[in-house]
Structure 1
Amino acid sequence: MNIDSTTDAFHHVQTAHCENGVTTALLQYHGLDFMTEPLAFGMGSGLFYIQIPFLTINNGPAISFRTMPGAIFKRTCKSLGVEVTRKKFSNPVAAEAFLDQKVKEGVPVGCQVGVFHLTYFPKEYRFHFNAHNLIVYGSEDNRYMISDPVMEDVTSLSREELTRVRFAQGPLAPKGHIYFPESVKKISEDTIRKGIVKGINRNVRDMLRIPGNFAGVDGIRHTAGHIRKWRDKLGLKKASLYLGQIVRMQEEIGTGGGGFRFLYGAFLEEAAAYMQDDRLLQVSEDFTKAGDMWRASAIKMAGVYKGRLTEQKDFEEIADMLVDIRLVEKEAFQKLSRFNLGK
């Protein structure tokens, strides 16, 4: 069965980040035409920062600029009262059988996959990262029809190719993770507003009040402290590779540091219209500023990675940039906290 993405059945949606895109496209498919990528990201409290202790990815620090994979879809749907089905499998045969049943029923589904063996990705973007998301919306000639939100158009994968990426090994192994909305009712603007408030308040909590020093705004300072020590502790070559890893996590996986901040700013603009609260527009500008600062830090880190910058002062300057970013984001979330939205 093939569901053409140009028909009313399913429309491909290109977005900056995969899980936002899957969430947006699946909810739009179920009639929630108001859903946008910024709204999905904000209601899902997608903005985050963490340097995960004792974990490395691609032989570098494990840093994330967003919340845990799957949380955006789960939280956004829950805020809107949308019932969802989520399954993981230990057996690839069972995972394929379940997927085939949903395809037969004409139900588009989200799948978590690994990037390294994703054949339609350019080779330079294939690395060991297992939290990518795409939509399977049909099948044709023994190939699955794929809507990957970060791609301009739809594509396809063979059965073997899809099984391989659905059961990629390593950190965040997807284990055949499949998910989709099950029951969608009519959504009122009041429900949307409540979802916006819940998403903002949860993001305030996660960035300002999460315990420990390696997550939220304090996590940014934590990473800055590490950067100051890397050159002397690890040597220039390894320290440079570590900075290159941050750039990759920041700029190549989804929309990373700067892009996610721009996206959150866009969410606050939409939220201001729903809430009729212009204060949110002012904070939106703060996140745009943070996004610009993250992009500037990535350029500086790339200079070290490429060997153009080699001195300890360069590492110090990068660390100082992160400290400044932390202050901007902390003050922005403190403003949101003081607004007492929804009260």
Structure 2
Amino acid sequence: MTTPNLDLDPLDGYQPLATHHCVTGSMRHIYLFHAHDISEDMLLGVGGGVGYIYWAQKGALPTMGGRRIDKVRGFEPVTAARTGVQVEAHRTTSAAKAERTLLEQLDAGQPVMLQVDMGFLPYFDFGGEEYHFGGHVVVAWGYDAANHTVLIADRDSELHPVPMAALAAARGSTHKPFPPKNCWWTWDFSQKRAPTGDEVRQAIHEQAHDMLHPPISNIGVAGIRKAAQMVLTWPRTMDPDRLRLALFNAYIFIDAVGGTGGGTFRYMFSRFLREGAAFTGGDRLLAVADDFQHIADQWQAVAAWFLNTSERSDAASVLPEVVRPLEDIADLEQAAWTRLEAITADAERVTQHS
């Protein structure tokens, strides 16, 4: 990330943070502004944010993602409810309304969490390649009306002045599969609290259940196994340049550079389990945390393979090399999630309103 030097100060209450994931990192910015100190790992885990999906949509590069999102409630509302917070997402087709509302909130002294397409943010360097991902999330911390500039916090600890026109393009992007739709969030921290042990157990159980019993074969451990086979089919529908871009994209979805915290979120999940053990009194979680640390290491090895292969002219011929490592990871995840499902089996009987 590169940033020009401009004299633009953030709102009072800003704290520089180096974060792992764009959503949880942005939420941590907002939480700390409201004096609610919940770790980024806890935000990810208690919101049920870890899973797996392989998804190939026409016109878009294949997705190999390590996130899970509650299809009914959504990640942010679940995380908020389990930490005593209320949150509401807002969307509009009007760029003018999106900008007006943003500036009004900043004028009121409130930082604003925004969904954007990172491909339009000038501080990212994609090596000359056109790259779009509309599921990126940042926080606006101030603006300069005279210079038409908004001050943006991303995953690094610096603040980035972004021209309002570029931010409007990022917020209004139509690139698939995650167009931002000018989304922003508002918050109520008046009832803030730490998550309960029952809520931590429930979150772990939900993630384990979806990994082991997915509704379709693209999701969960089955999705990892599917990815291992589908990678072999990429050359049938992609020319060499498109194939190399798909391989690089797979690397981005696994590695920390893509906002996963490394190991497709498994390092963050391992730390969440360690922290969660203190909430639940469940020392058995510590052993599974070690398992996920090891699993994350294996994912990182696969990420390195995808990156190296994306730079090869004969990429199509070596794709079979990644099948066994992905299948081995699937076996490791099957065992680890099965342990978590058993440890948290009583969570199925816990009545939750989160």
* Coarse TM-score class (shorter-chain normalised): 0.7 to 0.9
Match of 2:41 among 38, 41, 59: 38
Query: Is the 8 Å Cα contact of residues 85 and 192 (structure 2) preserved in structure 1?
Result: no
Q: 1:186 to 1:211 in 2, by over 3 A?
A: closer
Give structure 2 stretches of 5+ with no counterpart.
Answer: 1-7
Distance 2:288 2:304 in 1: 25
Scaled by the length of structure 1, what TM-score is found? 0.87
Counterparts of 1:1-343 in structure 2, within 5 Å, are 4=10, 7=12, 9-33=13-37, 35-57=38-60, 60-68=61-69, 71-124=74-127, 127-142=131-146, 143-148=149-154, 150-171=155-176, 172-187=178-193, 189=194, 191-230=195-234, 239-251=243-255, 252-255=257-260, 258-307=263-312, 314-340=318-344, 342=347
3-state SS in 2 of match to 1:64: strand
* CA positional deviation for 1:311: 7.9
Deviating more after overlay: 87-96 vs 256-265:
256-265
Q: 1:22 to 1:71 in 2, by over 3 A?
A: farther
Q: 1:193 to 1:156 in 2, by over 3 A?
A: farther
* CA positional deviation for 1:209: 1.4
3-state SS in 2 of match to 1:51: strand
Q: 1:106 to 1:331 in 2, by over 3 A?
A: same
Distance 1:87 1:48 in 2: 25
Q: 1:291 to 1:256 in 2, by over 3 A?
A: same
3-state SS in 1 of match to 2:62: strand
3-state SS in 2 of match to 1:223: helix
Number of residue pairs matched? 333
* CA positional deviation for 1:126: 6.5
1:179 maps to amino acid: W
1:113 maps to amino acid: V
Distance 1:310 1:134 in 2: 34
1:145 maps to amino acid: L
Query: Is the 8 Å Cα contact of residues 220 and 323 (structure 1) preserved in structure 2?
Result: yes
Q: 1:265 to 1:117 in 2, by over 3 A?
A: same
Cα deviations by residue, 1:294-320 (Å, 9 ceiling, x for unpaired): 1111222333322287685x4333111
Cα deviations by residue, 1:155-204 (Å, 9 ceiling, x for unpaired): 222322221211112111111100131243141x5x43233222212211
Query: Is the 8 Å Cα contact of residues 303 and 309 (structure 1) preserved in structure 2?
Result: no
Measured on the aligned residues, the alpha-carbon RMSD in Å equals 2.6
3-state SS in 2 of match to 1:120: coil
Deviating more after overlay: 300-309 vs 115-124:
300-309
Deviating more after overlay: 38-47 vs 123-132:
123-132
Cα deviations by residue, 1:73-99 (Å, 9 ceiling, x for unpaired): 222102223111210011111111111
Scaled by the length of structure 2, what TM-score is found? 0.85
